[in-house]
Amino acid sequence: MDNMFDDIEKDQVSSMVQEALNGSDDGELFFETTPSESFLFDDGRLKNASFDINSGFGSRLVSGDITGYANSTILSKKSIKSSLEAIQTARSGKEILVSETDHSKIKNNKKFEKNLYSKENPLNSISFDEKIELVKNIDAFLRSYDNRVQQVSVSLAGNFQSIVIFGKEGEIYTDERPLVRLNISVIVNNGKRQESGSYGTGGRWDYTRLNSKDFYQHAAKKALKQALTNLDSIDTPAGEMTVVLASGWPGVLLHEAVGHGLEGDFNRKGTSAFSNMLGQKVADEQVTVVDNGAIPDRRGSLNIDDEGTITQETVLIENGILKGYLQDNMNARLMNDRPTGNGRRENFMYQPMPRMTNTYMTDGQYNPNEIIKSVKKGLYMVNFGGGQVDITSGKFVFSCTEGYQIENGKICSPIKGATLIGDGPKALNKIKMVGNDSSLDDGIGTCGKAGQSVPVGVGQPTLRIDEITVGGTS
């Protein structure tokens, strides 16, 4: 990271940035280099193995709410100078975005107290041959474990993002971020019907954990269990009913239907269902929601955000009362608030904006079994797939990939084709019981916003929600 640019040193870059951003409200030069790789084993053979290195920088100047932004993959003093000159247009009140790409070339150092993850490159943790052997072993294990397995798809991916942020006051922030992910999909057939199941896991660690036989076989069994369960599924009844959401990954509904509405930019512009509601009751009193980017090794965690702010735990909703929003530097300043360490960008080509890290609901008082027993007739939803959300209204539609009927307090037949329909603010007030088993997902979350994708974590305890609409197949 010391020789980032071809013909200029760190201290010279810092001086140029300070001079260019002098008198502005905000801004920085964000440098990044990210080697990444992926492997896909499908239909009994390795179908893809790729490696790439993404390097470049983005320069940003903010004046009021107007932004000048330029990015480049040409790592030279001349390119830096050109980008810093281009973004000066923002001082005149005109937004400008500049991109410069060369397709032939792929004062104080601010420290955080403790690394949340390893600084070692995960791509080097096991050999290329071991990575290929890992995806092959998962395929072979599933096919030998159950003769109903018809097809297996395994994907393995990792990257190592190294960043340096040059601030307007001469600050220099650095971070090195490992990230790995494993996904397993399986199709089973019992001679009468065919169903599928999947499981994913990952985090800010290396491949060594994934390469453990106990670990990958446990992951494979989870994908298989979902597929086999779906073989026995029945049509989902439709209508308004009581739904119990399992702990962990079902928190994706909370992330989408509620979390986005608590990001600062939507609230500053008044386009969120939660705008101008600080201090007001927005959920049942059992509900407390936090965003925490400082949990060790988690997929959504960061030592610092992409503006150099140290990440933290931010309480969004406490005992049903709206307490705060997720803020980057610009929106915090314009809302007379403080940054919360949630200024994030996909890579150097994009500007930062308020984004979630690990967002989850905290523990309630009820045992999960107690919640199930309280339901005479309803549904128990364990896993979700895709969904759609309208940030302004909070309305959502989510598809359930693993769910069960509840009859007289007992989990019964698995269901298929269920969708959950509602809106976030109303759903928060229909929560009747909150479990004491809050957990985060297993490390697969990716959040999209304004064309940018970033890794996130989601979570919640077991929840009982009454009077929520379910779209079904019967």
| Residues contacting residue 272 through CB under 8 Å, at least 6 positions apart | 260, 261, 262, 263, 266, 391, 392
Are 341 and 203 in the same domain? no
C-alpha 218/C-alpha 255 separation (Å) is 27
Q: Could you tell me the CA-to-CA distances from 381 to 53, 114, 181, 250, 384 in Å, in that order? A: 40, 38, 24, 8, 8
Boundary residue ending a domain (180, 198, 231): 231
Whole-number percent of the chain with pLDDT over 70: 95
Mean pLDDT computed over 274-290: 96
pLDDT at 102 over 60: no
Residue in the structure block whose two tokens are 């509620």: 258
Mean pLDDT computed over 407-419: 95
What's the pLDDT score for residue 392? 79
Structure token digits, residue 214: 């106990």
Strand partners for 289:
317, 361
Does residue 128 belong to any structural domain of this protein? Answer: yes
Are 130 and 90 in the same domain? yes
Whole-number percent of the chain with pLDDT over 90: 87
Does residue 377 belong to any structural domain of this protein? Answer: yes
Q: How confident is the model at residue 98 (pLDDT cuts 50, 70, 90)?
A: low
Does residue 249 belong to any structural domain of this protein? Answer: yes
Are 204 and 316 in the same domain? no
Are 268 and 181 in the same domain? no
Domain span including residue 226: 10-231
What's the pLDDT score for residue 104? 35
Are 221 and 298 in the same domain? no
Does residue 145 belong to any structural domain of this protein? Answer: yes
Q: b vs e for 120-135, b when ≥16 Cβ sit within 10 Å of the residue's Cβ?
A: eebbebbeeeebeebb
Boundary residue ending a domain (189, 210, 231): 231
Does residue 125 belong to any structural domain of this protein? Answer: yes
The predicted-structure confidence for 178-206, as pLDDT tens digits, reads as follows: 999 999 999 999 999 999 999 999 999 99
Are 219 and 262 in the same domain? no
What's the pLDDT score for residue 101? 45
Question: Half-sphere exposure of 109 toward its Cβ, with a 13 Å CA cutoff?
Answer: 9
Mean pLDDT computed over 159-163: 98
Does residue 3 belong to any structural domain of this protein? Answer: no
Does residue 203 belong to any structural domain of this protein? Answer: yes
What's the pLDDT score for residue 8? 85
C-alpha 293/C-alpha 26 separation (Å) is 22
C-alpha 399/C-alpha 416 separation (Å) is 10
Are 221 and 243 in the same domain? no
C-alpha 87/C-alpha 357 separation (Å) is 29
> Are the CB atoms for 403 and 430 separated by under 8 Å?
no
Strand partners for 310:
304
DSSP 104-160: T---EEE--SS-SS--S-GGGSS-HHHHHHHHHHHHHHHHHH-TTEEEEEEEEEEEE
Are 223 and 362 in the same domain? no
pLDDT at 109 over 60: no
Number of folded domains in the chain?
Answer: 2
Coil vs helix vs strand at 417: coil
Does residue 5 belong to any structural domain of this protein? Answer: no
Q: Which CATH number does the domain housing residue 19 bear?
A: 3.30.2290.10
Boundary residue ending a domain (231, 247, 263): 231
Coil vs helix vs strand at 346: coil
Query: Which residue spans within 205-349 are E strands per DSSP?
Result: 234-235, 239-245, 289-292, 313-318, 321-322, 343-344
Are 58 and 154 in the same domain? yes
Name the region of 56 (left: φ>0; alpha: ψ -120 to 50; beta: rest): left
> Are the CB atoms for 251 and 359 separated by under 8 Å?
yes
The predicted-structure confidence for 115-154, as pLDDT tens digits, reads as follows: 999 999 999 999 999 999 999 999 999 999 999 999 999 9
Are 131 and 166 in the same domain? yes
What's the pLDDT score for residue 112? 66
Are 166 and 252 in the same domain? no
Are 244 and 225 in the same domain? no
